[in-house]
Amino acid sequence: MHEGYVDPELKVIAKIHNDFPEKFGIPHQSNWLKEQKAQIIFEPEYRVAEAFRGIEEYDYIWLIWQFSEAVGKKWSPTVRPPRLGGNVRKGVFATRSPFRPNSLGLSSVRLEKVEFHPELGPVLHISGADLMNGTPIFDIKPYLPYVDGHPQASGGFTDQIKDHRLRVEFPEEYLKEIPKEKRKALTEVLENDPRPGYQEDPERIYGLAYGKKNIRFHVKDGVLTVCGVSDYKKS
């Protein structure tokens, strides 16, 4: 194997299981919405307990994964981040856009616990992931706070928008349709404003797939109002 050799085949070691069956509404950054729970289920080849020895010693882990919805799509040197209104272009390497040369994502998530399932082997329970249900994961590494954490670093254009939040009005008639254990997490997603940043039509009705439900809502003057809940049906 010569110097600089590149392995052309990345191996999928696991997939994530969570409440985001569609891309719309997924958190824009990892560890931003801390109530979002998920499980990492490994492929049979990697369900080896020894491979996870010591991982429970870490509070956070890195996930290296694939923007599976962007695979096969042409990458662009510049992109228009939705949070900037869709009118400002930034270099793709200055953003976390999925339309990259290799469609790779990197996320820091909290490791809640490690479960050794009799059929699925080691299952990682995590929170704060910004991945769609079924996203393939290529690798997992421990997060080291003394070298990976830089709380005083500049966040570029994201420093201007990171505190954006909506007030959520969730009528009881619709809230009761949501399982109690899911309500806080769903409200967190809605507060984070799942709309593209360039859409400000107060008459528009949006649909958010979350878990087994489809949530309909509209937004006006910084207030998101839920106006319907129905069973989710995959299109």
Burial class of residue 2, CB neighbours in 10 A (0-12, 13-18, 19+): exposed
> Does 96 share its domain with 134?
yes
**Could you give the number of structural domains in the chain?**
2
The yes-or-no verdict on residue 72 having pLDDT over 80 is no
Name the pTM for this structure. 0.89
Q: Which residues contact 134 (CB under 8 A, 6 or more apart)?
A: 15, 16, 17, 68
The domain that holds 79 is classified in CATH as 2.40.30.70
* pLDDT at residue 2 is higher than 70: no
More confident: 3 or 35: 35
The DSSP bridge pattern shows strands 78-79 and 60-66 to be: unpaired
Say what the pLDDT of residue 118 is: 94
Q: Which of 102, 132, 157 is the last residue of a domain?
A: 157
Residues 90, 174 share a domain: no
pLDDT given at position 163: 65
Q: If phi over 0 gives left and psi between -120 and 50 gives alpha, with beta otherwise, what is residue 201? A: beta
- CATH code for the domain of 196: 3.30.2310.20
Domain span including residue 113: 14-157
Kindly state whether residues 186 and 217 are assigned to the same domain.
yes
Residue 218 in this model has a pLDDT that exceeds 60? yes
Residue 3 has pLDDT above 70, yes or no: no
Residues 180 and 129 placed together within one structural domain of the fold? no
Average pLDDT, the chain: 89
The reported pLDDT for the residue numbered 149 is 86
pLDDT at 34 over 90: no
Q: How far apart are CA 193 and CA 166, in angstroms?
A: 6
Q: What is the pLDDT of residues 185-194, one digit of tens each?
A: 999 999 988 8
Sheet holding 223-231, edge to edge: 167-169, 223-231, 213-220, 206-210
The predicted structure's pLDDT at residue 196: 76
Q: How confident is the model at residue 70 (pLDDT cuts 50, 70, 90)?
A: low
Indicate the pairing of strand 167-169 with strand 223-231: parallel
Spatial separation of the C-alpha atoms in residues 218 and 39, rounded to whole Å:
31
Choose from 5-14, 133-142, 191-200 the range with maximum mean pLDDT: 133-142
Residue finishing a domain among 157, 189, 212 = 157
What are the pLDDT digits (tens) for 152-206? Answer: 888 877 776 666 789 999 999 999 999 999 999 999 999 988 887 667 788 999 9
Whether 1 has a pLDDT exceeding 60, the answer reads: no
31 and 144 both lie in a single domain: yes
Q: Identify residue 2 by its one-letter amino acid code.
A: H
Q: pLDDT of 74-107, one tens digit each? A: 888 998 887 777 778 999 999 888 888 888 999 9
Percent above pLDDT 90 for the chain: 61
